Amino acid sequence: MSSLIPLKTSKREMALPSTSVPMSPFPLHLLPSSDPPYKLLQNHPSLSLLSKCRTVQTLKQVHSHIIKTGLHHTQFALSKLIEFCALSPFGDLPYALLLFESIDEPNQVIWNTMIRGFSLSSSPGLALEFYVKMIWSGIVPNSYTFPFVLKSCAKTASTQEGRQIHGQVLKLGLDSDAFVHTSLINMYAQNGELANARLVFDKSHLRDAVSYTALITGYVLIGYMENARKLFDEIPMRDVVSWNAMIAGYAQTGQREEALAFFEEMIRANVVPNESTLVSVLSACAQSGSLELGKWVRSWINEHGLGSNLHLANALIDMYSKCGYLDTAFDLFEGLQQRDVISWNVMIGGYTHRSYYKEALGLFRRMLRSNIEPSDVTFLSVLPACATLGALDLGKWIHAYIDKNFQNSTNVSLWTSLIDMYAKCGSIEAAQQVFNGMEHKNLASWNAMISGLAMHGVADKALELFSQMTGGGLKPDDITFVGVLSACTHAGLLGLGRQYFSSMVQDYAISPDLQHYGCMVNLLGRAGLFDEAEALIQNMEMKPDGAIWGSLLGACRVHKRVELGESVAQRLFELEPENPGPYVLLSNIYAGAGRWDDVARIRTLLNNKGMRKVPGCSSIEVDSVVHEFLVSDKVHPRCKEIYDMLNEVDTLLDKAGFVPDTSEVIRDMDEEWKEGALSHHSEKLAIAFGLISTKPGTTIRIVKNLRVCGNCHSATKLISKIFNREIIARDRNRFHHFKDGFCSCKDYW
DNA sequence: GTAGGGTTAG
């Protein structure tokens, strides 16, 4: 790199006078090529037209006008034209470049303008390239050049180049310029080199609110809010941006209360907030659910005539949706005069955040129909919705879109979301492919892949990945161990589970949380080691939750431990009085023991409490449309065909010698359940629909909200063989891959 | 003789 950025200090040759003499009503061309008097040019009508341009079309018209009047022979006019093209939101950087290349010997201002344009563009690295070219062409950079070049170094994380440019600043003695000085601090701060930023700051007497704030922002970036706070207290003259940096810093580091307290103090100090302030404050409100303050900010915005500000409208939509007021958020959204991609993103993200996944996908489809380009952030909200709903087709479409338009994205979360989506939609191979193709993986990427393999019951691969990851020097976190332990749980690997659990505590100093204990209780309970499971629960640092007792209760069902089941269920009744699950599970335990009187007693209990079993619901995506089925559902448009297929399935199952296992049915629960029992379970309806609506041999993927029942599990194994179909089912806990009469869970789930 | 630094929602 050292040879790439030369610094010539020799003076360039004078430009030759122009020889062409075009016709013009404004006889500027008669003047020599060194520009005519500044005043004459500054107020030239063609140039004042520029500021009125709103499209590239009119821009080109103004350009031709400039040519007609002969103004294009002056560097001043060209520089104004380039300035507009390179910097205005209505400009066109490639056009600026074209203009630039048509100039024989661009002057310093023109070079600086091009560098600035690039530094603000989506490829700020080009600013640095232009800077090098400028020096090679013999132009000496000045105090205007460096802020732009340093900005580009900050944006492209070019630390090496930044240091070199710092050297050149010193050589030219420009470090005493306030703008250059702050830009240096900012460059180091943005590149995480706080020591260097501090050095530049400390060595100089140039300390204004701007340079303080640049340094503060550096500390904010690495989450050192205390250092930021210290500096803030030192600033002799704080301005609104200094306050904003602190408020944004607290909001971004999750210290919402601090952010809001700073805002209130700012108001008390009579500093008038601006758009940035309010955006950060609304973000803090959104995070902490402070609807009241959010409403106050909204009225402040309206009182100050900022109601039509799009940034603020977007922040308000976000605030309302995160506070749970999705309807209000949507009314804001619908009422907007204009929406940008962020408006769509916050609204879609709001739906996902509040678990309204179907609404999120619906709005995403509307966004595409409205010809709005989605961004990577859009997909970070849409992919989890696909994952939850099992919308694999849409997920695949998004993957293709990302491959086409975000191929070079350095957003690791984007690819990680794809892994998660594929894993949760049942396509663990595709998840693995995305994972393998990732050049840069972070902890979350490994976690997503390990948990994905775990939920598919591919324990050996999950554990292999874990050793690969730790072998590569990456430190696992609590989430990694949830994946690892659940891999052991789903495969019934008790010994290994124990080993990983103690390794987590001893080798990685991670204290187990409820999820880790849940895995261990599950493993121990399923192995019939009830004493050990209970001892573990007794020794937990925290109060066991419903999931822990629930998993023990599940084990009681498997091992037919009626008495223990009764006492565990009792705890659950107290812990989660509104949850019908434990009642259903206990009645299953009674049913398994043939204690029908007790089954009836539970039924009465449930009825008296007005509780109902959560209805089983299965969905299947066919041609990008998600179809949902409840138990005994008769509302699907192809209902008749589905039930015909169901009859055929039952006949074939019967022929194959299938004996329904009724031990888990809650007998006589009520008429509705009786009718729906077994044959009309929602997963069977979804499978039947899959059989009639997809080509023979196509894999059928279904998603169920509850655990698959034993009877359906046995039936589905046989269906996969009879119809020669691979059936991939996601239940509440894990995946089952049914093929040739077998299931990947090896009947352990 | 044109211009320039620090804060902003998902």
A12 pLDDT higher than 80: no
Residue A438's pLDDT band (cuts 50, 70, 90): very high
Kindly state whether residue A183 falls inside one of the protein's structural domains: no
For residue A727, how many other CB atoms are within 10 A of its CB?
24
The alpha helices in A559-617, defined as continuous H runs, are 562-575, 581-592, 596-608
pLDDT in tens, A515-543: 999 999 999 999 999 999 999 999 999 99
d(CA A188, CA A197): 5
Q: Which one has a higher pLDDT value, A2 or A261?
A: A261
Phi, psi of A739 (to 5 degrees): -155, 135
Measuring from the CA of residue A310 to each C1', which nucleotide is nearest? B9
Contact A490, A526 (CB under 8 A): no
Angle at A118 between CA A116 and CA A119, to 5 degrees: 65
CA of A199 and C1' of B8: distance in angstroms? 28
Q: Are residues A652 and A704 in the same domain?
A: yes
Residues A673-702 have a mean pLDDT of 83
Dihedral pair phi/psi, residue A733, rounded to 5°: -105, -35
Residue nearest to nucleotide B4 (CA to C1'): A144
Rounded, the Å distance between the CA of A681 and C1' of B2 is: 76
In this complex, the nucleotide whose C1' atom is nearest to the CA atom of residue A119 is B4
Domain ends where: A575, A596, A613? A613
Q: Which residue reads 């505590």 in tokens? A: A505
**Of all protein residues, which has its CA closest to the C1' atom of B9?**
A315
Give, in Å, how far the C1' of B9 lies from the CA of A288. 15
Shortest-distance nucleotide from A286 CA to C1': B9
Q: Tell me the nt nearest to A210, Cα to C1'.
A: B6
A657 inside domain: yes
- Alpha-carbon distance of A115 to A146, in angstroms, equals 10
Task: Give the CA-to-C1' distance from A111 to B3 in angstroms.
Answer: 11
Interatomic separation, CA of residue A36 and C1' of nucleotide B1, rounded (Å)? 10
Answer yes or no: do A623 and A531 share one domain: no
Of all helices (H) and strands (E), which one includes residue A686? Answer: helix A682-693
Looking at the DSSP assignment, which residues form a beta bridge with residue A621?
A: A626
**Total domains, chain A:** 2
What nucleotide is nearest A80 when CA is compared to C1'? B2
Q: Do residues A735 and A624 share a domain?
A: yes
* A9 has a pLDDT exceeding 70: no
* pTM for the whole structure: 0.84
In a domain, A736, yes or no: yes
**Per CA to C1' distance, which residue is closest to B10?**
A346
Express each pLDDT in A541-551 by its tens digit: 999 999 999 99
Judge if A629 and A730 occupy the same domain: yes
CATH of residue A601: 1.25.40
- Given a contact cutoff of 8 angstroms between Cβ atoms, the answer to whether A186 and A148 are in contact is no
A528: helix, strand or coil? coil
pLDDT value, residue A141? 97
Q: Residues with Cβ < 8 Å from A375, sequence gap 6 or more?
A: A341, A345
Does the pLDDT value for residue A190 go beyond 90?
yes
Q: What are phi and psi of A738, to 5 degrees?
A: -95, 130
CA–CA–CA angle A533, A493, A424 (5° rounding): 100
A599 and A664 part of one domain: no
If one counts every other C-beta atom within 10 angstroms of the C-beta of residue A598, the result is 17
Beta bridge partners of A743: A738
Using alpha carbons, select from A184, A189, A177, A197 the residue that is nearest to residue A148. Answer: A184
Specify whether the CB–CB gap between A613 and A625 falls below 8 A.
Answer: no
The first and second tokens of residue A479, run together, are 């989430």
Q: Are A421 and A395 in contact (CB under 8 A)?
A: yes
Query: Which residue range is the domain that position A572 belongs to?
Result: 512-613
DSSP assigned state of A143: T
In contact, A617 and A628? CB cutoff 8 Å: yes
> Which nucleotides of chain B are near protein (any atom < 7 Å from a CB)?
1-10
Span A25-46, pLDDT tens digits: 334 444 444 566 777 777 777 7
pLDDT at A96: 94
* Average of per-residue pLDDT across A579-584: 87
Cα–Cα separations (whole angstroms), residue A574 to A260, A567, A586: 39, 11, 14
Rounded, the Å distance between the CA of A701 and C1' of B8 is 43
Kindly report, residue by residue over A165-180, the tens digit of the pLDDT.
999 999 999 999 999 9
Structure confidence at residue A34 (pLDDT): 57
Which residue minimizes Cα–C1' distance to B5?
A179
Q: DSSP secondary-structure letter at A705? A: S
Q: What is the pLDDT of residue A348?
A: 97
Measure A105 CA to B1 C1' (Å): 18
CA of A40 to C1' of B2 (A): 13
- A280, closest nucleotide (Cα–C1'): B8
Mean pLDDT value across residues A213-226: 96
User: Residue A666: what pLDDT?
Assistant: 52
3-class SS of residue A546:
helix
Q: Do A680 and A635 sit in the same domain of this protein?
A: yes
pLDDT digits (tens, 9 = 90+) for A662-683: 665 554 444 445 445 667 888 8
User: For residue A484, which of A457, A506, A513, A462 has the smallest C-alpha distance?
Assistant: A462
Q: Quick one: tokens of A616?
A: 């089983």
Please report, rounded to whole angstroms, the spatial distance between the CA atom of protein residue A337 and the C1' atom of nucleotide B2: 36
Rounded, the Å distance between the CA of A310 and C1' of B2 is 32
Cα distance between residue A225 and residue A139, in whole Å: 42
Residue A19: per-residue pLDDT: 30
Distance A283 CA to B9 C1' (A): 7
For A549-565, write each residue's pLDDT tens digit.
999 999 999 899 999 99
Q: Is A671 a member of any domain?
A: yes
Nucleotide nearest to A180 (CA to C1'): B5
3-state class of A424 per DSSP?
Answer: helix
pLDDT at A679: 75
Strand order from edge to edge, sheet including A727-730: A625-630, A617-622, A700-704, A727-730, A735-739, A742-743
Nucleotide nearest to A209 (CA to C1'): B6
Q: According to the model, what pLDDT value does residue A658 have?
A: 86
Domain boundary among A592, A613, A634: A613
Q: Do A667 and A709 share a structural domain?
A: yes
Say which residue, A711 or A436, is predicted with more confidence. A436
Query: pLDDT (tens digit, 9 = 90+) per residue, A451-476?
Result: 999 999 999 999 999 999 999 999 99
Q: Are A463 and A484 in contact (CB under 8 A)?
A: yes
**Cα–Cα dist A284/A126, whole Å:** 36
Please name the helix (run of DSSP H) or strand (run of DSSP E) that holds residue A431, with its range, or none: helix A428-437
Residue A560: burial class (beta carbons within 10 Å; 0-12, 13-18, 19+): exposed
Measuring from the CA of residue A375 to each C1' atom, give the nucleotide at the shortest distance. Answer: B10
Computed from CA positions of residues A390, A392, A394, A395, in that sequence, does the dihedral angle turn out positive or negative? positive
Dihedral pair phi/psi, residue A308, rounded to 5°: -95, 5
Domain boundary among A613, A648, A677: A613
> Could you tell me which residues are beta bridge partners of residue A619?
A628, A703
Q: Do both A520 and A572 map to the same domain?
A: yes
Question: Is there a single domain that holds both residue A714 and residue A673?
Answer: yes
A375 vs A222: CA distance, rounded Å: 26
Helix (H) or strand (E) holding A621: strand A617-622
Partner residues linked to A441 by β-bridges: none
Q: Same structural domain for residues A714 and A642?
A: yes
Stretch A262-285: mean pLDDT: 95
Predicted local confidence at residue A677, as pLDDT? 60
Judged by C1' against the alpha carbon of A322, the nearest nucleotide is: B10
Taking the C1' atom of every nucleotide in all shown strands and the CA of A243, the nearest one is B7
Residue nearest to nucleotide B8 (CA to C1'): A276
Buried b (16+ CB within 10 A) or exposed e, A117-135: bbbbbeebbbbbebbeebb
Residue A49 has pLDDT above 90, yes or no: no
Pairing, β A700-704 against β A617-622: antiparallel
**What pLDDT is recorded for position A711?**
79
Rounded Cα distance, A289 and A304, in Å: 24
Q: Which nucleotide is nearest to A143 (CA to C1')?
A: B4
Structure tokens at A133: 């070219």
The answer to whether residue A272 scores a pLDDT higher than 50 is yes
In a domain, residue A362? The reply is: no
**C-alpha R_g of chain A:** 33
Count Cβ atoms within 10 A of the Cβ of residue A45 and give its class: 0-12 exposed, 13-18 middle, 19 or more buried: exposed
Our measurement of CA A110 to C1' B3, in angstroms, reads 10
CA distance A252 to A259: 9
- Identify the pLDDT of residue A633: 83
A601 in the same domain as A544: yes
CA A177 to C1' B7, whole Å: 22
With CA atoms as reference, report the closest residue to A357 among A702, A626, A681.
A626
**Residue A567 included in any domain:** yes
Instruction: Give CA–CA dist A577/A730, Å, rounded.
Output: 28
Distance A436 CA to B7 C1' (A): 39
Distance B1 C1' – A228 CA (angstroms): 41
> CA(A172)–C1'(B7) in Å?
30
Model pLDDT for residues A383-433, shown as the tens digit of each residue? 999 999 999 999 999 999 999 999 888 889 999 999 999 999 999 999 999
**Sign of the four-CA dihedral A90, A94, A97, A99:** negative
Nearest nt by C1' to A249 Cα: B7
Protein CA A132 to sugar C1' B1 (Å):
26
Of chain A, the percentage scoring pLDDT greater than 70 comes to: 93
Mean pLDDT of A262-284: 95
A103 occurs within a structural domain: no
A570/A686 same-domain check: no
In-domain check, residue A359: no
